């Protein structure tokens, strides 16, 4: 996924090409397995945009999940600096240095912190810098933390303590997410295995008992039956993905 100037995500041309190859191969496999006809797989190409949309949403969720993990490390670094007596501006600069050492150069939070520090060097108010970063990232945790920092600077008081409370809340939320992932992880594996079983059975029959499958190929009745089976198969998989998606938040 490529980061847009507005802070969103979009797929690159390379990703679209890779997904196209993957989808064409998948359609060819379905055409051979269920219809014994590779040419009929061309019909499935019309669903390529839907496949791209679904994969794009999945990759975006993964990117945002990684962003939340990176942000947790950022606020821990900021809290450590504030506790040592540093200002908010100094804490953000030190956080950038810490993240540069422990994250990949293209990590989202490194890019955001670098942009924020450059703005501060141009004497742009810290509140405006934080709000712009929050708007770009569009994450609840970052928005909450931004409001804590802005209110703390305006009203004074124990800013380090306020940041510590935010760190604890975000850590609890992440731990809860991990617990949910652990609970449904086994179910995901079972679901993936069950998705493969029907296609595996058809593949086995085609390879080792082809005479039982010949009646379904080369005639309208067989195509209708296999199409109905394929539709039920696809709907069942879609429902399973939807259930797992809801369970995983």
The CA distance from 172 to 89, in Å, is: 26
pLDDT at 156: 67
* C-alpha closest to that of 141 among 65, 59, 77, 81: 65
Whether the per-residue pLDDT at 160 is higher than 80: the answer is: no
SS3 9: strand
| pLDDT of 249 strictly over 60 | no
DSSP 8-state secondary structure symbol assigned to residue 86: -
Q: Say whether 13 sits in a helix, a strand or coil.
A: helix
End-to-end CA distance of the chain: 21
Q: What is the pLDDT of residue 157?
A: 63
**Domain with 193 in it:** 2-247
Instruction: Kindly state the percentage of the chain with pLDDT values over 70.
Output: 98
Output the pLDDT for position 113: 92
Q: Record the tokens describing residue 127, joined without a space.
A: 């509140």
Specify the number of domains making up the chain.
1
Query: CA-based angle 242:72:156, to the nearest 5?
Result: 125
- The CA-based angle 101-106-110, given to 5 degrees, is 55
Q: How confident is the model at residue 36 (pLDDT cuts 50, 70, 90)?
A: confident
From CA 188, how far away is CA 194, in angstroms rounded? 10
pLDDT at 18: 94
Entry pTM = 0.80
Q: Which tens digits make up the pLDDT trace of 76-122?
A: 888 888 888 888 888 889 999 999 988 888 889 999 999 999 998 89
In this structure, are residues 87 and 118 in contact, taking their beta carbons and an 8 Å threshold? no
Mean pLDDT of 50-71: 88
Over residues 22-48, mean pLDDT: 90
In angstroms, the CA 7 to CA 138 distance is 8
pLDDT tens for residues 176-207?
A: 877 777 777 778 888 889 999 999 998 998 88
């Amino acid at each position: 996924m490529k980061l847009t100037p507005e802070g969103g995500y979009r797929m690159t041309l390379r990703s679209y090409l890779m997904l196209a190859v993957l989808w064409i191969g998948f359609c060819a496999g379905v055409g051979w397995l269920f219809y014994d006809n590779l040419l009929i797989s061309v019909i499935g190409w019309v669903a390529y945009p839907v496949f791209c949309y679904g994969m794009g949403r999945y990759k975006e969720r993964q990117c945002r999940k990684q962003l939340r993990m990176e942000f947790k490390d950022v606020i821990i670094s900021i809290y450590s600096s504030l506790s040592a007596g540093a200002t908010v501006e100094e804490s953000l600069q030190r956080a950038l240095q810490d993240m540069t050492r422990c994250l990949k150069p293209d990590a989202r939070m490194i890019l955001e912190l670098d942009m924020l520090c450059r703005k501060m060097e141009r004497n742009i108010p810290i509140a405006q810098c934080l709000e712009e970063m929050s708007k770009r990232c569009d994450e609840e945790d970052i928005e909450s933390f931004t409001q804590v920092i802005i209110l703390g600077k305006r009203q004074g008081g124990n800013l380090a303590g306020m940041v510590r409370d935010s760190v604890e809340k975000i850590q609890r939320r992440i731990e809860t997410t991990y617990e949910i992932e652990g609970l449904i992880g086994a179910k995901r594996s079972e679901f993936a295995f069950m998705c493969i079983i029907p296609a595996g059975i058809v593949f086995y029959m085609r390879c080792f008992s082809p005479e039982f499958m010949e009646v379904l190929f080369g005639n309208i009745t067989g195509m209708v039956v296999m199409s109905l089976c394929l539709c039920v198969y696809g709907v069942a998989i879609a429902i399973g993905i939807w259930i797992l998606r809801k369970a995983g938040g």
